Every structure is written in C-alpha cells, then in structure tokens.
Structure 1
C-alpha cells in the first residue's frame, strides 16, 4: 500500500482538522513534559552560551502545538540571559515535517507568534528566524553539526512505511492479539531500522553537547498486544469491519490497509540508542493520558477521541478507501469508543527521553 501521500495530519482549520483536535492528547503531552525540556535547554545554554541557537522540531505538524515548544525554549533562554546579564542569542527555528504537512497555516501564524513572544518576554527578540524544512526525518534533514536542541513529540512512532510481508494480516490494521508472529516481527524490525536511522542522522546533525528530547507514544512493558498501545487502532479496525459486514466496504480493502505506526517499549528505544552510541541518556519518564475524561460525559469523551483519531488518520484512510466512507467510519468509531469506555478505563501511554550528544 502506498502511504506517503497520506502520512500527514489533516490540515486546515475545519472542525475535523488536526489544528482543532490536537490539544486534548498531544497538547497534554507537551504540557506534562515541560520540565524535562526546561532542564535540557537550561543545561545546554548554561554550558555552551551559544551566540546563535539552532532549534529543530521534528514532526512539527500544524496548529497550536507547533510553536508552543519553540515559545517555551525561547522563554527559558531569555530568562537565563537576564540572570546572566547576557545579550539574547540569535534564534534559528527549523520546523520539519513531511511535504504534505500544512506548512502554510504555520507560516501565516508567525507574525502574531513573534508579537506575542515579544510581549511575554519583554524583549525585542529581533533575531528570530524561521525555516520550514519538508522531508522525512528517517534520513538527513540538516547539515553536519548544525543543531543545538532537537525536539519531537508524538512523531517517532510513525514508521517510514508499512512493513513488508504482512499480507496475512487479515481484518486488522495494526498488531492485535490475532496477529501472526511474522506480522509482529515485521513491525518491530521496521521500527528498529527506522529508529536506528533516525538516531544516526541526528547524531550527525547535532553539535557535541547538544540536547534532544523525544516524547514517544509507546507501551510500558514488552507485550506488543498491550491495550494501551493497540486499543484505539483495534477499535478503528472494528468500525471498518462493521462496514464490511454491511457491504459498504470491500473486505479486501480492509485486509490490505495497515497503519504505519509502531508503539515501542522503553527497552526497544534504549537498545537502539545505546547501540548507535552517540548519545548519553539523561532521563526517561513514563506518563499516561486518560481517555475517559472525568469532567465529561462518555459521549463527549468518546467524541474527542474519535475526532483526534480522525484528524491523525483521515488522510491515510482517504488515500486507501476514498472520501465517501469517512463520516460513516468515524460515526461508528465514536459509538464503539463510547461503548468501550462504558466498560473499562481507556488510556494511552507515552515516554519522554532526554539525550545529550556525546563528544567524539
């Protein structure tokens, strides 16, 4: 299945867009990992005092989360400059995602972002330059030793492609308890290849002493079938299979649709980092996002989940099935999620890992 054209979030500012459906889960992750990033950028700046600070956000997407980490980093550095009585550095901000990302909406927001930043920091910050960098981070994206701080959130669980050799994965769109062993093996091996390349490329692009903070959607243990990593996609498969039974989708279309994600364990991620050898691991922290929002009805909690999943996966679904089925799929998905929430607590798990580029 060709997925490159669909491997981006839903653009624009409509009701189902990623911009309007990325606060509850993705935004929660960014907020809850703030202290880890603050420690990383404080350590970096205090130890190196760069006159020009290059910051990259990999898998930046679009919407309110895109510039939130950049704002946070600049606030930390500006406060340090005031304490140390230093002039503000030059900021070079690189926003990376695949070419299908809605970069235009990001660029349109930059003037208001800069104005707000000046008001909040009480400084001119006149040397703050933004660059859109389209391309896959599973390859070189930046020149040698050009970056000081790299951040990526909710992105590295995306694979470069659907694993090969999983034609016998029937009725599922990701790993589940019925998956043949070769399917599980293929997904893990694709992740291992991709993540190893990711780490190697960043090692070449980040300066010695530079920092990288990754928040990765994953799982706590070694069980690849854990509900925390499989449940949401399994329920989406249920919605699609319901439509097969109703004659609304061909069975073969579902059997040939597979999501290019992998939700790794901490040990799988650490193994790749340690094997590559260029980074020291400073900190690893697990967190979870409860999908059953105690302040909302089940209907509303389920709706938020369905809208979030739609904003993320609609482009892939449209690429494979066409646009005509999308509303029906997510109406069914909403109902299935609400039913699941009524019977058990649902959550997703992610972990944040902070790294330092070692000296050669």
Structure 2
C-alpha cells in the first residue's frame, strides 16, 4: 500500500487485516482463562484515510529504490509490479473496533507513541545527528523485514540485497535530512472476558 494505491487496494488490505486480527484474537481467547491479560504492540497509522499521509515512508523508499533498478534494467518491471509487502497498519479506531466486534477481550488500557526509525533524534538542529549512520540503521531494519520476501520474489540470481540496501541507505539519508522519521506505534492492553 502506498498513498498512490487505488482505493480497492486499501479496502482489500483492510478486510484481510480485519479477518486476520479477528482470528488472532479468537484463538488467543480460546487459550486464555477468564481475566487473563494480553498486551499487544504494533505499528499503526496516524489517520483513518491511509491514502492521505505516508505513515510508512520507509517502505515508500524501498519502492523508489526498486523502481530505479527497473529503470536501469536491473530488475524486470513486471516483477516489481507483482511484488507486495503483506503489511497493513491500522488506525487506532480500526484496531479497537475489531477488538470490540470479535468479543473475546475487553480493552483495558491503550497508548500510542512515536517510535523513531533509528535510535537517534534525527533533526538538523542536533549537532550529533549523522544522517548516513541513521540511514544505515533504517536500511538494516527494513532489510531484516523484507530481504526474505525480496529474494523469494525476485530470485537470488537477480536480487543482490547488498546493492538494494546500499541504494536504500542513500535515499533514506536524503529523506532523514528533510523529514522527521517516526513510526506510529500502538500499545493495547486487553483483558479476557
């Protein structure tokens, strides 16, 4: 999903997330005793409309990196357009609605916070900020999440992940100089009914 994706893509991902999260809650509900507690922490998005803000810019940078590799003939256009990262970040209202509708748990506490992409405060006003070092940390994080999917989809013969994430790191450094880089993170404490 990206801010430019068609509405149908957002709807399909949202419906799949609803099914998956409901099933997860249902199965955890079967395992837990009444009164048992569960704390969940997951990435979310700050707004209800997923097309309005790029809350997952670190994946947009990956998309841009792969697109440049298509233009240079390193990977095939059809391979890029058939590649999807199976990730959906709900807004807080969506997550809460699924919890209530599924019915196994009571929402006990909730909190949201911004988690930096890297371990550093990335601001041009910080004299210790090193965008290249921060970008390398971000690239390593995204690589850990996506390398198995990239190799599986594109094949190890045509996908040199060292090259991909070296390019990614350069793009991320440019991004970090211009933008604050935080992930919207939700923490939800649930109590089994």
TM-score w.r.t. length of structure 2: 0.91
Q: Structure 2 residue aligned with 1:301, among 89, 112, 134? A: 134
Which residue in 2 is equivalent to 1:239? 65
Q: Secondary structure at the match of 1:208?
A: coil
Q: Structure 2 residue aligned with 1:336, among 156, 171, 177? A: 171
Q: How far does residue 321 in structure 1 lie from its aligned partner after superposition?
A: 1.1
1: CA distance, partners of 2:175 / 2:26:
40
Q: How far does residue 278 in structure 1 lie from its aligned partner after superposition?
A: 1.7
1: CA distance, partners of 2:94 / 2:171:
31
Which residue in 1 is equivalent to 2:97? 271
Deviations 1:105-140 (A, max 9, x none): xxxxxxxxxxxxxxxxxxxxxxxxxxxxxxxxxxxx
Aligned length, in residue pairs:
183
Where does 1:87-166 land on structure 2 (aligned, <5 Å)? none
Per chain length, whose mean CA-contact separation is higher, i.e. which structure has more relative contact order (CA < 8 Å, sep 6+)? 2
Where does 1:209-358 land on structure 2 (aligned, <5 Å)? 209-225=35-51, 226-228=53-55, 230-291=56-117, 293-294=120-121, 295-323=128-156, 324-358=159-193
2: CA distance, partners of 1:313 / 1:262:
14
2: CA distance, partners of 1:220 / 1:355:
21
Q: Secondary structure at the match of 1:227?
A: coil
Which residue in 2 is equivalent to 1:76? none
Q: Secondary structure at the match of 1:350?
A: strand
2: CA distance, partners of 1:223 / 1:330:
30
Where does 1:30-69 land on structure 2 (aligned, <5 Å)? none
Structure showing greater Rg: 1
Q: Secondary structure at the match of 2:188?
A: strand
2: CA distance, partners of 1:343 / 1:308:
20
- Higher relative helix content: 2
Q: Unaligned regions of 5+ residues in structure 1, if any?
A: 1-174
1:198 aligns with 2:24: yes
Q: How far does residue 351 in structure 1 lie from its aligned partner after superposition?
A: 0.5
Q: Unaligned regions of 5+ residues in structure 2, if any?
A: 122-127
Q: How far does residue 311 in structure 1 lie from its aligned partner after superposition?
A: 1.1
2: CA distance, partners of 1:200 / 1:307:
34
Which residue in 1 is equivalent to 2:125? none
